Amino acid sequence: MESILRSLSIQSTRANKGQIPQIAEGYSTQKLVSRSTSGENVDSNYVYVFNFKDNGGYAIMSNDTRLGPLLAITETGQLKKDSVINNPGFILFLEYTDASYNVLAKQGIPNHRIKDSIVYSPWSEEYIDLPEGPCKVQWDQGYPYNNFTPVIENDGHIADISRTLAHFGYSSCGQEVDYSYDAVLSEIRQGAPVLVSGSDLYKKHYVLGFEVSTDYLGHCWLIDGARELIRTMTDYSIYGKVEGISYEKKYYLHCNFGWSGNFDGYYYDGVFNHLKLITGIRK
């Protein structure tokens, strides 16, 4: 695993760029997917989790070459096997990842093993940051952040909008559009954050082997940065002749979920097709 992290040049934040996080423990959720409650059907999809030392975050890796290798990497905390996840933004990410697995399977796209004939270059990376950098405001969903929303105690939408105002200032405009990575990237390159929202795809107590709360119907959170990875893939014949050269690109979004910094980090763009965006946030 450490060699994979090294090849990806993965680090939790830009501040420690080039440093490879040390792994404290790793596990697969494959054995966890057999759990069920009240006869609930549990999908067989699973992921790998690697917690870093000193509470320095964790990486979630795919077991499927069609999505992988890296699905998410966070900046702080750890994701334990026995965690009961109640962060609705992270739950949506798990649901969307699970749904992406299922779509690929229905499309009949094979989960190929890595071919020995293909030589992969190291990943090169680019960070696309806002001028102010990532949002430093890490508010939560409850007291005292929602003192003036007494009807709905844990209204994260208010917290997210307030956090955006606190860090980036007041915006007199904005529009809702369907999700696309290009739209997000365009906004960030113009120095503007993006608010995103999503709704549950289904109500399950277990997603990708993790026990999750079913108290939430959706969530709104902030995207305030992006990261792009690219590498070349050179395919050789059995005689050592180059048969072809192609490129693999992966895109990641820096998500601030409004959960006191918990679960904040870079998430794979390829599973977020169900989201709505609020773009055009300008000072």
Average pLDDT of the chain? 79
Burial of residue 54, with CB atoms counted within 10 A of its CB: 0-12 exposed, 13-18 middle, 19 or more buried: exposed
Please answer whether residues 111 and 66 qualify as being in contact, where contact means their C-beta atoms are separated by less than 8 angstroms.
Answer: yes
- Domains by residue range for the chain, with CATH: 2-279 (3.90.70.50)
- Indicate if the pLDDT at residue 151 is higher than 60: no
What residues have CB less than 8 Å from 266, skipping those under 6 apart? Answer: 72, 73, 225, 227, 252, 253, 254, 255
In percent, the amount of the chain with pLDDT more than 70 equals 74
- Tokens representing 273 are 């097709």
Q: What is the pLDDT of residue 275?
A: 85
129 pLDDT above the threshold of 50: yes
The stretch 227-241 carries a mean pLDDT of 91
* Stretch 27-51: mean pLDDT: 72
How do residues 209-222 score in pLDDT, each as one tens digit? 899 988 877 888 99
- How much is the average pLDDT of 83-93? 91
- Please tell me the predicted confidence (pLDDT) of residue 282: 66
- Minimum mean pLDDT among 31-35, 95-99, 146-150, 187-191: which range? 146-150
The number of beta carbons lying within 10 Å of the beta carbon of residue 228 is 17
Q: Which residue has the higher pLDDT, 137 or 117?
A: 117
Query: Rounded distance, CA 170 to CA 195, Å?
Result: 14
Do 275 and 177 meet the contact criterion of CB atoms below 8 Å apart? no
| Model pLDDT for residues 242-273, shown as the tens digit of each residue | 999 999 899 999 999 988 888 999 999 999 98
Write down the pTM of the prediction.
Answer: 0.81
